[in-house]
Amino acid sequence: MTFEDLNLNTPLYNALNDLGFSTPTPIQAEAFNVVCSGTDIVGIAQTGTGKTFAYMLPILKHLKFSTQESPRILVLVPTRELVVQVVNDIENLTKYMNTRVLGVYGGTNINTQKQAIAKGVDILVATPGRLYDLGLSRVLQLKSIQKLVIDEVDVMLDLGFRHQLINIFDLLPEKRQNIMFSATMTEDVDILINDFFKSPERVSIAISGTPLENIKQSRYQASNFYTKVNLLKHLLIEIETFNKVLIFVSHKKMADRLFEKLDELFHDELCVIHSNKTQNYRLRSIEQFRKGENRILVATDVMARGLDIDNVSHVINFDTPEYPENYMHRIGRTGRAEREGTAILLSTESEQEAVSNIEDLMNMRISLEDFPENVEVSTELIDEERPQIREHYNPIKRKDEDAPGPAFHEKSEKNSKENLGGSYKFKIAAKYKKPKTRGDKNYNKRNKK
């Protein structure tokens, strides 16, 4: 199948020709007619298979010119970087169309975004938090939304956006088309579909655990963090082989720690991205890596979902992800567009169970490489790797003199009284023979009889 078989309009064909695309990916081909039909759709496909074009091509084919100010298409994505990327993809597709596209996200001036919305927009791409703020401000009217797209919904739910999504649904018109794309089908995703979608048609391309055939996978066994760092430096020295390397770590603290160690040797070739970095820093790091100005990018798992960076030669998993699906999303950053890619996993003894879970999900074994003899095996441990020693009660141990101690005085009499709870009013009534409240006017009359 080619794009000619989809009966697109001339502006879209011109845009696709400029981008050099002639053949749709499997998810683009399978989802096209379903999205065009107007029914709700749930698309499941691996990261890097062209999900953005899968929903935007049929939407743009039927999106007619309009001068109305309120948006007709709403695309929700989990992160600010994805907003920028999706807006860029849509702008490339609408190069020869008179379509207004706007991206909004947190961390920037909301008043500037309000002014941009007031000028009129056809397609709005947003993160859930900022969209809800704009919806409550009344500047953004969402009752004209015809199609709602939720992209990377599994990440959105992982990041805790469920309640914000539900609140956004309340601001939208009931009569709309719901389009959802995800890399994995989780229980939370299934619950969301059952609650808010109307008999959706499911389009699934490949099982989430199926590895991309053009990615060569290998693994090194290392004893600890510093040994992994030494091995990583040994590998990255080969500039011609490791020409565009994406290194994944599990959390922000580890990203900063690894960046600091690699910065000693690869200062001008290195950048890092995680959620604690400022918006400008994150966007600049991605752009420098995308253009090749930086050869090495250290990132956390959120980066693994949806960001489209071409020609990544290697994905290195500095640690083994706890959830095997995250490994699949990480390695999906290389071997894109039918090119060959390489994925390397660095694992310790404590991570072997996670390695086994990944191999079970993929139904294959990752080849274990011999550890290079010229790489130093470190004995130094980071805090997380040191054994936790729990000391039994030691009466001789010196006490902390600054710690708060027991009260030095006896309780006052009023504080020592019994807490009588709800029975208190009955004891008062029995003692004084009169009502405690003013409502019971016949209380004394009854008692006199």
Q: At 75, which CATH number? A: 3.40.50.300
What number is the average pLDDT over the span 368-382? 93
First-to-last C-alpha distance (Å) of the chain: 99
| Three-state DSSP class for residue 439 | coil
If asked whether residues 38 and 91 sit together in one domain, one would say yes
Last residue in a domain, options 358, 381, 404? 381
Residues in the chain: 449
If asked whether residues 101 and 179 sit together in one domain, one would say yes
pLDDT in tens, 56-90: 999 999 999 988 999 999 999 988 889 999 999 99
If asked whether residues 52 and 196 sit together in one domain, one would say yes
Residues 363-384: b if buried by 16+ CB within 10 A, e if exposed? eeebeeeeeeeebeeeeeeeee
Token pair for 360: 């079970």
If asked whether residues 177 and 219 sit together in one domain, one would say no
pLDDT in tens, 153-178: 877 876 778 888 989 999 999 899 99
Matching residue, tokens 């939407």:
59
Helix axes 128-136, 110-118, angle to 10 degrees: 70
If asked whether residues 111 and 220 sit together in one domain, one would say no
Token pair for 429: 């009534």
The conformational region for residue 220 under phi > 0 = left, psi -120 to 50 = alpha, else beta, is beta
| Phi, psi (degrees; rounded to nearest 5) at 4 | -65, -30
The conformational region for residue 421 under phi > 0 = left, psi -120 to 50 = alpha, else beta, is left
User: Is 348 within the bounds of a domain?
Assistant: yes
Last residue in a domain, options 381, 413, 429? 381
What number is the average pLDDT over the span 346-370? 93
| Phi, psi (degrees; rounded to nearest 5) at 137 | -75, -5
Residue 232 DSSP one-character state: H
What number is the average pLDDT over the span 302-313? 75
Check: CB of residue 318 under 8 Å from CB of residue 254: yes
Check: CB of residue 262 under 8 Å from CB of residue 234: no
Instruction: Give the CA distances from residue 244 to residues 73, 251, 293, 294, in Å, rounded to whole numbers and listed in that order.
Output: 35, 22, 10, 8
* Number of neighbouring beta carbons within 10 Å of residue 22: 10
If asked whether residues 123 and 179 sit together in one domain, one would say yes
In this model, does residue 440 exceed pLDDT 80? Answer: no
If asked whether residues 262 and 314 sit together in one domain, one would say yes
- Report the DSSP beta bridge partners of residue 103: 125
Name the more confident of 432 and 8: 8
Range of the domain at 68: 3-205
Q: Mean pLDDT of all residues in the chain?
A: 85
Report the distance separating Cα 171 and Cα 397, nearest Å.
61
Matching residue, tokens 């709700």:
40
Report the distance separating Cα 18 and Cα 23, nearest Å.
14
If asked whether residues 377 and 292 sit together in one domain, one would say yes
pTM of the model: 0.64
If asked whether residues 180 and 111 sit together in one domain, one would say yes
If asked whether residues 21 and 134 sit together in one domain, one would say yes
User: Is 311 within the bounds of a domain?
Assistant: yes
pLDDT number for residue 422: 60
Residue 342 DSSP one-character state: E
pLDDT number for residue 250: 86
- Number of domain units in the chain: 2
Contacts of 208 (CB under 8 A, 6+ apart): 44, 46, 183, 184, 185, 325, 328, 361
Matching residue, tokens 């919305």:
117
In this model, does residue 441 exceed pLDDT 70? Answer: no
Range among 234-238, 304-308, 419-423 with highest mean pLDDT value: 234-238
What number is the average pLDDT over the span 118-143? 93
Name the more confident of 418 and 161: 161
If asked whether residues 234 and 199 sit together in one domain, one would say no
What number is the average pLDDT over the span 28-55? 88
pLDDT number for residue 88: 95
Instruction: Give the CA distances from residue 183 to residues 43, 117, 139, in Å, rounded to whole numbers and listed in that order.
Output: 8, 31, 33
In this model, does residue 409 exceed pLDDT 90? Answer: no
* DSSP H or E stretch at residue 150: strand 147-151
